[in-house]
Structure 1
Amino acid sequence: MKQPLKGFRVLSAEQYGAGPYGTMFLAQLGAEVIKIEPPKGGDTARHVGPHWLREGESLYFQSFNLNKKSLTLDLTSPEGVEILHKLVKSAHVVANNLRGDVPAKIGLDYASLKPVNPAIVCAHISAYGRDNERAKWPGYDYLMQAEAGFCSLTGEPDGPPVRFGLSMVDFMSGAQMAVGLLAALLDAQRSGEGCDVDVDLLSTAVHQTSYPAIWYMNEGDVTVRAPRGAHPSVTPSQLFKAKDGWMFVMAQTPKFWPILADRIRHSELINDPRFDTPSNRLVNRVELCSILDGIFGAHPVVHWLALLRGHMPIAPVYDLDQALDNPWLETIGMRETITHPDKPEMDVLCSPIKIDGKRLPNRAGPYLGADSNEILGAIGYDAGEVAKLRASGVV
């Protein structure tokens, strides 16, 4: 199938989540993504349990490393730097998600690599950026959720702050890095000049505060938690409990309010002066939600889905197993079974991106150093030289 990035080579000194997540999109779109890993142990993600393919090869690693190649290389050794430079000559992008002060030290920034390949794009994800006093600070997704205000906006008003159930700052940072490096790559192809592209986790997290940020910066309006995950300014748009479970109901625009009331057989609510305008519904949110609780609690979730689905925004609240076993994922092709040497049938999620209506192809993530011989051979190292490099710990 058509893969727009075929023919492009990406070298990535990456680990754990944010960087590997972003470069996986590039690999699925056809780029040759060479994952550069320390010879001893490789990417930390290979050692994250609790589920294993074999010792040192985790299922967790597969989440972020489909379609890639693995090269073991000590980037702190002179021989490792020499190999890196040989690879950079034929590469288009060098990416990393190392601590902010590290890329310049080990020569992964544009200033270091421009003499080798003036068109190289150097993409960096760090915790706090590379150009400030926090550059040396370690940092992870959960810290960003805390400092950027996510935790204070999540959970019930009378409960403790709550982080997201997933590392969404990592994933968004990886996706933003991919956008930035692709834009820079497009420019480099036209101009012959590369550059540095920087994304940091905290900036990404702060940027996601979006409209509450604009409200506060311009009006001093501090958004706070609302019960049941309710939208801060629209109601009803929140969780409701049916007879047998929870669902999210969203009369998100004014047109959905009469549709909701009509289809639940309570059209008298439409013009009730307490609820007849968006502002009145917001002012009287507690009273309205109490009425709707009584209505929704009389029947199971499936009853309300049958009445409302397709007519207005509504979704059941699934546990993770229910979400992943949802037949709709099969309908849209979001699950796929691929082959791994240790697991002949390994289920993975497909890319959310489609090209010409088709999901992008997947293959299993590589063993540590699985492609070292091939990659080194292609730049002129014979078997004996590779063996010496391996014996000395360079690869």
Structure 2
Amino acid sequence: MKPLEGLRILSLEQFAAGPYGSMFLADMGAEVIKIENKAIGGDPSRHIGPYHLGEADSLFFQGWNTNKRSVVLDMKAAEDRKVFESLVAGADAVVNNLRGDQPEKLSIDYKSLKHLNPKLVCLHISAYGRNNSREAWPGYDFLMQAESGLMDLTGDPSGAPTRFGASVIDYMTGITGMVGLLGKLRSAERTGIGGDVDVSLFDVALHQLGYAGTWYLNEGFVSGRVPRGAHLSVTPVQTFQAADGWIYVMCMTERFWVSLLEVLSSQALRADERFQSQSLRLANRDVLTVALDNEFKKQPVVHWLNALRGVLPIAPVLNLKQALDNPFVEEVGMISQVPHPRKDDLKLLANPLKFDGERLSQQPCSPLGADQSISQAPSRQAA
């Protein structure tokens, strides 16, 4: 039995933040029902190419929507609204990731739905939040990386501000929202009273500033971009060039630095007064980078992995193909084979959670509107 079996979640979701977050609930056994607008073809990500799986389905879509069901409704049509409300009466939560002004307009907030189900929890994932000057603004992950300062912190100092290689703010916001949802569900279980939970892309992006934000707020220190993806205050923690590629080395403690010197067997590095303490190494980071590059260039990546793994934290810098072909990925079971009617060998990234040592099973999301019978079934009792 999966941990969230018995929960029913209605989700008016699209693209990434909402679907990514609710996928964790679905994979953990919750019945997540996507409420999709048939007039626009459902969740727009069903139609994002280049790899399609028939009509209104794609690889892009399936990657964030495993184990979900699909019901099509027009939320502005009176008859469909009645159907939605009948589903709400037996649901535990309603999730949306629309603009911040939409939940009230569509009457999908707690105030509008509590008469149907007092224990209902309503999660609102939006770009800028609700009840503020930007609530009606559309917004996406990359905009948040830009305005939060994260883009300015990322990349080489001599280049342009750079976004992350993945939509990490979408993913973090989705997960953060689900943590809030589960917390409020626990409260509703105890008190019998649900409520609203809000999370925005903007707030989550700003929160990811972490210690850099804390430094500025308390000391006025403005962090800048550091070459080689280096740590702001500890060194050597950065990329280095080997004979045939790149490695990332993390000497986060003095012990790891001493261990690196032992493996390199470099008397010059060991004796250099500029590298005798963490503060000195930080002050002379550029000189140290050149010196360590010269050492690491003497051997290929695999040599350094064999020499340093288990001695200090080290990883190869891989491209996407190398990352997914990595034997360790197969060893830990991070690729899931999911049976799909249009693609027997559909492979997806497995859910990173394990329960009692086992991965969570995954099935493809239902075709658009394939679970319409749910909307005609007698109302269930919320968990």
Equivalences for residues 105-144 of structure 1 within 5 A: 105-144=105-144
Deviation at residue 279 of structure 1 after TM alignment: 0.3
The corresponding residue for 2:84 is 84
Instruction: Decide whether the 8 Å contact of 1:155 with 1:229 is kept in 2.
Output: yes
SS at match of 2:98: coil
Equivalences for residues 149-168 of structure 1 within 5 A: 149-168=149-168
CA distance in 1, matches of 2:20, 2:56: 20
Deviations 1:90-126 (A, max 9, x none): 1101000001100111111000011110000000100
Deviations 1:106-156 (A, max 9, x none): 111000011110000000100000110100100000000000011101111
Find out whether 1:243 has 2:204 as its counterpart.
Answer: no
CA distance in 2, matches of 1:82, 1:274: 73
The corresponding residue for 2:171 is 171
Instruction: Decide whether the 8 Å contact of 1:94 with 1:121 is kept in 2.
Output: yes
Deviations 1:283-319 (A, max 9, x none): 0111111100100011100010010012111100111
In structure 2, stretches of 5+ residues that fail to align are: none
The corresponding residue for 2:28 is 29
CA distance in 1, matches of 2:55, 2:343: 13
Normalised by the size of structure 1, how large is the TM-score?
0.94
Equivalences for residues 1-395 of structure 1 within 5 A: 2-40=1-39, 41-266=41-266, 269-270=269-270, 272-373=272-373, 375-379=374-378
Deviation at residue 273 of structure 1 after TM alignment: 2.0
Instruction: Decide whether the 8 Å contact of 1:258 with 1:267 is kept in 2.
Output: no
Paired amino acid for 1:169: I
SS at match of 2:34: strand
Identity of aligned residues (%): 52
Instruction: Decide whether the 8 Å contact of 2:23 with 2:68 is kept in 1.
Output: yes
- Shift of the 252–267 alpha-carbon distance from structure 1 to 2, 3 Å rule, reads farther
Normalised by the size of structure 2, how large is the TM-score?
0.97
CA distance in 2, matches of 1:168, 1:317: 19
Deviation at residue 268 of structure 1 after TM alignment: 5.2
Instruction: Decide whether the 8 Å contact of 1:257 with 1:270 is kept in 2.
Output: no
Moved >6 Å (runs of 4+): none
CA distance in 1, matches of 2:306, 2:231: 24
SS at match of 1:336: strand
Deviation at residue 266 of structure 1 after TM alignment: 2.2
The corresponding residue for 1:383 is none
Paired amino acid for 2:331: T
Instruction: Decide whether the 8 Å contact of 1:46 with 1:58 is kept in 2.
Output: yes
CA distance in 2, matches of 1:104, 1:252: 49
**Paired residues, what number?**
378
CA distance in 2, matches of 1:294, 1:39: 60
CA distance in 1, matches of 2:2, 2:267: 51
Deviations 1:295-345 (A, max 9, x none): 001110001001001211110011101101111011111111111010011
Deviation at residue 271 of structure 1 after TM alignment: 5.3
Deviation at residue 272 of structure 1 after TM alignment: 3.1
SS at match of 2:174: helix
Paired amino acid for 2:365: G
RMSD, aligned CA = 1.0
Deviation at residue 368 of structure 1 after TM alignment: 0.6
Deviation at residue 79 of structure 1 after TM alignment: 1.3
In structure 1, stretches of 5+ residues that fail to align are: 381-395
Paired amino acid for 2:76: T
Paired amino acid for 1:272: D
SS at match of 1:247: strand
SS at match of 1:34: strand
CA distance in 1, matches of 2:317, 2:185: 41
Deviation at residue 270 of structure 1 after TM alignment: 3.9
Deviations 1:39-60 (A, max 9, x none): 1200010011111111331110
SS at match of 2:53: strand
Deviation at residue 379 of structure 1 after TM alignment: 2.9
Instruction: Decide whether the 8 Å contact of 1:85 with 1:116 is kept in 2.
Output: yes
Deviation at residue 376 of structure 1 after TM alignment: 2.0
Paired amino acid for 2:81: V
SS at match of 2:164: coil
Instruction: Decide whether the 8 Å contact of 1:340 with 1:364 is kept in 2.
Output: yes
CA distance in 2, matches of 1:195, 1:182: 12
